[in-house]
Structure 1
Amino acid sequence: MRLYVTALNPTDSVTNGFLPAASALGCEVTLLTDQPERHTGVETIRTDVRDPRALIDTIARHHRPDAVFSNSDHIQPETALAAGYFGLPTKDWRACLTTKNKALMRQALAAAGVETVRSARIAPGEPVPADLPFPVVVKPREGVASEDVVLARDGAELEEIVAAVRSRRPGATLVAEEYLEGPLRTLETLGDGRTLHVVGGFRTTLGPLPYFVEERLDWDPVADEHVLRALSAIGVRFGACHTEYVVTERGPRIVEVNYRLIGDSCDFLTAELLGVPLFEWILRVHLGEPVPEPPAASGHGAAVSLVAERSGVIKRAPGDVAETADGVRLRHRPLRSVGEEVELTHTNRDYLGLLTAVGPDEAAVDRAVAAFRARSPWVVE
Structure 2
Amino acid sequence: MTRTAASRRLLMVMPYSQFVRKAAEAGFEVWAIWDPSLREREYLDEVAAHARELLLTDFGDEAGLRALIAETVRAHDIGTVLHLGAEESMPPAVAEAEALGVSPNPAAAVTALNDKAAMRELLAAHGLSPVRSQVAATAEEVAAAVARLPLPVVVKPARASGSRGIALVRDIDDLEEWTGRVTEGALAGPYLIEEFLEGPEFSVETLSADGEHHVIGITAKQTTGAPFFIETAHVHPAPLGPEERAALHAVVIGLLDLAGYRFGPAHTEIVLTAHGPRVVESQTRLGGDRIPLLIETASDYDIEAAIFRTLAGEPVEPPAPRHTASVGFFFLPAGRLRSVEGVDAIRALPYVQALHFPFQPGDELPPTTNSFTRHGYVVVDAESPAEARARIARVRGLLRADVREAALAAPEGVLR
* TM exceeding 0.5: yes
Q: 1:235 to 1:154 in 2, by over 3 A?
A: farther
Structure 1 segments unaligned to the other structure (5+ residues): none
C-alpha displacement of 1:317: 5.8
Q: How far apart, in 2, do the equivalents of 1:202 and 1:60 lie?
A: 37
Question: What is the letter of the counterpart of residue 216 of structure 1?
Answer: A
Structure 2 residue aligned with 1:80, among 94, 98, 102? Answer: 94
1:36-115 equivalences in 2 (<5 Å): 38=40, 39-41=44-46, 42=48, 43-49=53-59, 50-51=62-63, 53-60=66-73, 62-72=75-85, 73-88=87-102, 90-115=104-129
Instruction: Name the structure 2 match of 1:188.
Output: 205
1:1-381 equivalences in 2 (<5 Å): 1-7=8-14, 14-15=16-17, 17-35=18-36, 38=40, 39-41=44-46, 42=48, 43-49=53-59, 50-51=62-63, 53-60=66-73, 62-72=75-85, 73-88=87-102, 90-124=104-138, 126-127=140-141, 128=143, 129=145, 130-155=147-172, 157-169=174-186, 171-221=188-238, 222-223=245-246, 224=248, 225-287=250-312, 289-313=313-337, 315-316=339-340, 319=343, 323=348, 325=350, 328-381=351-404
C-alpha displacement of 1:318: 5.5
Q: Report if the CA contact (8 A) 2:33-2:56 is conserved.
A: yes
Question: What is the letter of the counterpart of residue 217 of structure 1?
Answer: H
C-alpha displacement of 1:254: 0.9
C-alpha displacement of 1:22: 2.0
Q: 1:371 to 1:164 in 2, by over 3 A?
A: closer
Question: What is the letter of the counterpart of residue 65 of structure 1?
Answer: I
C-alpha displacement of 1:160: 4.7
C-alpha displacement of 1:283: 2.0
Q: 1:164 to 1:306 in 2, by over 3 A?
A: closer
Question: What is the letter of the counterpart of residue 256 of structure 2?
Answer: L
Q: How far apart, in 1, do the equivalents of 2:349 and 2:334 lie?
A: 31
Question: Is the partner of 1:264 in helix, strand or coil?
Answer: coil
Q: 1:317 to 1:351 in 2, by over 3 A?
A: farther
C-alpha displacement of 1:56: 3.1
Instruction: Name the structure 1 match of 2:414.
Output: none
Q: How far apart, in 2, do the equivalents of 1:299 and 1:350 lie?
A: 29
- Structure 1, 41-50 or 245-254: larger mean CA deviation: 41-50
| Percent of paired sites with the same residue | 28
TM-score (norm 1): 0.88
Question: Is the partner of 2:81 in helix, strand or coil?
Answer: strand
C-alpha displacement of 1:162: 2.5
Between Structure 1 and Structure 2, the one with more strand by share is 1
C-alpha displacement of 1:262: 0.8
Q: How far apart, in 2, do the equivalents of 1:317 and 1:62 lie?
A: 53
- Structure 1, 19-28 or 189-198: larger mean CA deviation: 19-28
Q: 1:171 to 1:140 in 2, by over 3 A?
A: closer
Q: Report if the CA contact (8 A) 1:6-1:33 is conserved.
A: yes
Q: How far apart, in 1, do the equivalents of 2:152 and 2:219 lie?
A: 26
Q: How far apart, in 2, do the equivalents of 1:159 and 1:370 lie?
A: 35
Question: Is the partner of 1:74 in helix, strand or coil?
Answer: helix
Q: Report if the CA contact (8 A) 1:47-1:58 is conserved.
A: no
Q: Report if the CA contact (8 A) 2:357-2:377 is conserved.
A: yes
Q: 1:278 to 1:161 in 2, by over 3 A?
A: closer
TM-score (norm 2): 0.81
1:127-180 Cα deviation digits (max 9, x unpaired): 321212211112111111111211110245325523542343275322221111
Structure 2 segments unaligned to the other structure (5+ residues): 1-7, 239-244, 405-416
C-alpha displacement of 1:363: 3.3
Question: What is the letter of the counterpart of residue 213 of structure 1?
Answer: I
1:228-261 Cα deviation digits (max 9, x unpaired): 2223222334210010011112211111101100
Q: Report if the CA contact (8 A) 2:230-2:371 is conserved.
A: yes
Q: 1:157 to 1:334 in 2, by over 3 A?
A: closer
Q: How far apart, in 2, do the equivalents of 1:318 and 1:20 lie?
A: 33
Q: How far apart, in 2, do the equivalents of 1:63 and 1:87 lie?
A: 14
Q: Report if the CA contact (8 A) 1:314-1:342 is conserved.
A: no
C-alpha displacement of 1:117: 1.5
Q: Report if the CA contact (8 A) 1:323-1:330 is conserved.
A: no
Question: What is the letter of the counterpart of residue 115 of structure 2?
Answer: N
Question: Is the partner of 1:175 in helix, strand or coil?
Answer: strand
Question: Is the partner of 1:313 in helix, strand or coil?
Answer: strand
How many corresponding residue pairs?
372
C-alpha displacement of 1:380: 2.9
C-alpha displacement of 1:45: 1.1
- Structure 1, 364-373 or 342-351: larger mean CA deviation: 364-373
C-alpha displacement of 1:332: 0.8
